[in-house]
A = this chain, B = another copy of it.
Amino acid sequence: MKKLINDPKAVVDESVQGFGQAHADLVTVSADPTFITRKDAPVSGKVGLVSGGGSGHEPLHAGFVGRGMLDAAVPGAVFTSPTPDQILPATHAVNSGAGVVHIVKNYTGDVLNFETAAELAEAEGVNVRTVLVNDDVAVEDSLYTAGRRGVGGTVLVEKIAGAAAERGDGLDVVAAIGERVNSNVRTMGVALSACTVPHAGSPSFDLAEDEIEIGIGIHGEPGRHRIPMENADGITDRLLAPVLADLGISSGDRVLLFVNGMGGTPLSELYIVYRRAAQVLADRGAAVERSLVGNYITALEMQGCSISVLRLDDELTELWDAPVHTAALRWGV
């Protein structure tokens, strides 16, 4: 294992410290317990948005803290849920009185710990709503999940619900918009190589030199099946077909196409995947009206990508376009 780290046990703390220093204009990092808040939190009258989960998926979630997106991010250890004693103070820190939305990827540990924190916060007088993200069409249950996993769609839920909160929508409306994004987005991923959790020290699974894993999760947990290596167009077709079928995309639909890197794949390859996916969507008569290409929800240094398609309407498009100012997504400001 060769990584740019010091003590494997200090990876999350040191990385979050560096993040806080590099983006001191945007965020405040709290230690013991660790969470990251928007510099001006709580924003008076605004619904607060909190997300979190295991580390190792950067820039998710801390990279999305700032104006127009998250108010707080709560990082667990690598690939390990954050604890209620982190989530609870983050929830309080961003509550201006208008309530707090928890955006939770559907993994058993995350769901349990956010639920516990939400109950404690409610008992202490904070109104909390939870948006569960479960956009992965690859598998129904997995090593870490009952039901579908939350993957690429999480980025889109956070951006769009964040814009709703920023424009002043109330607690139930922000939560409903987050759920609407989740209902209209589907994702599927592929791994070309494994990743290594720092404190484990060896790859979390093995893939032969001529094998890829279709439907991989963002922790390297198994997907649908292993197949021999194919070319980019073939892989793109395999990922996109179940996404479009599950979402029922047909002629005239307007979509956002999101090609996400798993961390170790060059950007140039993501654009080759984008090219094919855009072509398949055009052939279906769907209009790709918005795009996102890059490493936004990763699995450490894993090579591979995921493709997400979000069905757009006027309001979701307007909220997507709204100004955002975070470390990893920024426009309009």
Identify the A interface with B (CB < 8 A): 2-7, 11-12, 14-19, 21-23, 55-56, 58-59, 63, 192-193, 209-210, 212, 229, 231-233, 235, 263-276, 278, 288, 291, 293, 295, 298, 300-301, 303-305, 330-333
CB contact between A266 and one of B21, B212, B298 (< 8 Å): that residue:
B298
Known contacts A2-B303, A231-B5, A232-B4; is A21 also within 8 Å of B263 by CB? no
A15–B272 CB distance below 8 A: yes
A18–B274 CB distance below 8 A: yes
B305–A303 CB distance below 8 A: no
A269–B21 CB distance below 8 A: no
A4–B270 CB distance below 8 A: yes
Residue of B nearest to A208 (CB): B2
Known contacts A266-B298, A266-B300, A331-B330; is A272 also within 8 Å of B6 by CB? yes
Known: A58-B267, A330-B331. 4 other contacts (CB 8 A): A15-B268, A15-B269, A22-B291, A263-B267
A87 to B278, CA, bound (A): 29
Query: What chain B residues lie within 8 Å of A18 (beta carbons)?
Result: 270-276, 278, 293
List 19 interface pairs A-B (beta carbons < 8 Å), by A numbering. A2-B229, A3-B232, A3-B269, A7-B231, A14-B232, A15-B268, A18-B274, A18-B278, A18-B293, A21-B275, A21-B288, A22-B274, A22-B278, A23-B291, A55-B268, A58-B267, A58-B271, A266-B300, A330-B330
